[in-house]
Each structure stands twice: as C-alpha cells, then as structure tokens.
Amino acid sequence: MECSWSRDSELSVRKLKGNKMKLKGLNAEQTELLVPDHTFLFGWRGSVAHKTYTPTYGKCEHDDKDVMGACFGPVENYIGFKRFEQKEAMILGEDGITWDSVVYEIRKFVRLLLKGNPNVMAMLFLPENLYIHLDEVGEDLLSHKDWFVGKHMYKPFKGYASSQLSKMDRNATSNLGAVRKKLVEKFGYDCKHAGHLIRLLRMGIEFLTSGELNIERHDASELIDIKNGVWTRKAVLDESRRLFALLDEAYVKSDLPAVPQTAKVEEMMSDHIMTYLNSN
C-alpha cells in the first residue's frame, strides 16, 4: 500500500516545553516511548536523512522512519550501580509506518563517535533541518565535531561496507522475511543492502578526502535506483570494486589527523556530565 508521507512535510517538527517534542505521525505516548528524558540531541538518520526515502521499493518493500539521539542517563547511572546505555524502540505510528529509534547515553554515544562509527558520526554532520531536537549540550558537541575527525574512520567505513557486500549476496533461503525473500529471488541479490554498500563507500571516500560527511546524498536518485533493483548484480559489484580501491587510495592520500582528539573530548563531556549532576 502506498503511503502519503513525504519527507518535506515530515521535517516540520514542533518543539514543546522542556525536553518534550511532537513528531508528526506519533501521539504523545508514542513519542515518549521513543525519546528518553534529558535527550540533548535527536535527529533523522537512514533513508530520510540520505534523501533516499521511498514509501515502497522493489514494488513490495517499504522504508521505516529512522531516528537517533543522545541523552543523559538517570543520576544513579553516574553515582550508583545502575546501568543505562541506550534506549531502542520500534513503534508503528498512527500513519501506518514503523519508527525505528535508538537514543544512546552520552558516554556510549561519545565512545561510538571516537571509534568512528559511521552511523553515529552522521549525527554530527546533519543539515540543520534534520535535527528534531538540539539543546545547548548538543550544540556544543556539534561545534566541536572536528575533534572526532580522523583517518581512523577508514576501517569502520570499509568494515561496514564489507558487511553490506556480504548481506547483499545472501540467498533467498537465508533468515529473511517473506517480502525480502521475494526481492532476492526477483533481482538475484538484496538490493537494499547493495544501496547501503555503494553509499557507504562513496561517503567514506568523501570523508577521507574532505573531513566532511555528506549526509544528504547528491546521488540519491542513483541510490534509489539500486534499491529498486534497476542495477544488475554485476553492475553493483563492478562499482563496489572500483570504490573499494578508491577508498584505499583516499586513506593513503588523506591529510586528516590519524586519530580523534580524545583528551579534549573527554574534558568537554566530563564538564557536561558534572553540570547535569549538579543540576539534578
């Protein structure tokens, strides 16, 4: 069934008092399940952020609405024995589309940033209109995003891309849903993972060259074609081989720092955590 949701209309998000927000397509209770208290950064990820969102693709599969954020945990998380690292939720919205959300506790969020996790790093490079909620802590983090930039991201990008390559070629007897199995049988490969493969390689090359993550994709229409099975398996493999070689070359030639500025990041985050504890 086609859905009427459009990317542009969805981005009109109204902030409410305090740390509350309203997301179009979700009621207040559903929003509260997605977004923990003391969330300081929350935004779009996945196909919405990359401009590759399609209500349906491959004629029978559909995209979710993917969101990610970062928050402070309960006070006991820092001065007691309780442990909170992340909140994950998948909710079927009032609009009939599934929302897939993950919000990380601040220390785990920063650890993932320092490791160069491409999905988490993307949250520092979103265009302004893709942030749903951003307070002073989030803004401070964004203003120092260059502290997380480095050549070390070569390995995560290559590793994530290699994983998508493996998933792309899994056969229809694998542990797949009925709809995805039909897509694999029809096109001879998992075209959704193929799209991720090409996007990750291109983003990795761009990042190692410029130090910037280009989240809104200039090649979105091409990536949508891949997701819809327009490209043959051979065409995807040929392009991926070319891009893997360019990624290796970009790493060798990159002028980025070798590693992130961990000491500066730790000092900044310690200050924010102490401020949070003192105010709560």
**AA identity, residue 83:** R
What pTM was estimated for this model as a whole? 0.87
pLDDT per residue rounded down to tens, the chain (280 residues): 233 334 443 333 333 334 467 788 888 888 888 999 999 999 999 999 999 988 654 444 567 899 999 999 999 999 888 889 999 999 988 777 889 999 999 999 999 999 999 999 999 999 999 999 999 999 999 999 999 999 999 999 999 999 999 999 876 555 666 667 777 888 889 999 999 999 999 999 999 999 999 999 999 999 999 998 999 999 999 999 999 999 999 999 999 999 999 999 999 999 999 999 999 8
* Shared domain check, 231 and 104: no
| C-alpha–C-alpha distance, residues 189 and 16, integer Å | 44
**Residue 2 falls within a domain, yes or no?**
no
| C-alpha–C-alpha distance, residues 87 and 69, integer Å | 9
pLDDT in tens, 30-44: 888 899 999 999 999
Q: Structurally, how many domains does the chain consist of?
A: 2
DSSP character string of 223-237: HHHHHTT-S-HHHHH
3-state DSSP of 1-38: CCCCCCHHHHCCCEECCCCCEECCCCCHHHHHHHCCCC
* Shared domain check, 198 and 139: no
* Shared domain check, 75 and 106: yes
Residues 247, 190 contacting (CB under 8 angstroms): no
* Shared domain check, 188 and 139: no
Look up tokens 């060798």; give the residue.
252
* Shared domain check, 162 and 213: yes
* Shared domain check, 179 and 137: no
DSSP character string of 29-75: HHHHHHS-TTEEEEEEEHHHHHT---S-BTTTB---EEEEEEE---T
* Shared domain check, 96 and 33: yes
pLDDT in tens, 200-233: 999 999 999 999 999 999 999 999 999 989 999 9
Phi, psi of 51 (to 5 degrees): 65, 30
* Shared domain check, 170 and 71: no
**Residue 182 falls within a domain, yes or no?**
yes
* Shared domain check, 125 and 18: yes
* Shared domain check, 222 and 85: no
**Residue 1 falls within a domain, yes or no?**
no
According to DSSP, residue 189 is labeled S
Structural domain containing residue 68: 7-149+262-279
Torsion (CA) 185, 199, 52, 45 in degrees, nearest 10? 110
**Residue 89 falls within a domain, yes or no?**
yes
User: Considering only CA atoms, which of 47, 40, 48, 100 is closest in space to residue 72?
Assistant: 40
* Shared domain check, 101 and 27: yes
CATH classification of the domain holding 61:
3.30.460.10
Look up tokens 């559903």; give the residue.
30
* Shared domain check, 81 and 164: no
| C-alpha–C-alpha distance, residues 26 and 17, integer Å | 17
Three-state SS for 134? strand
3-state DSSP of 79-108: HCCCCCCEEEEEEECCCCCEEEEEEEEHHH
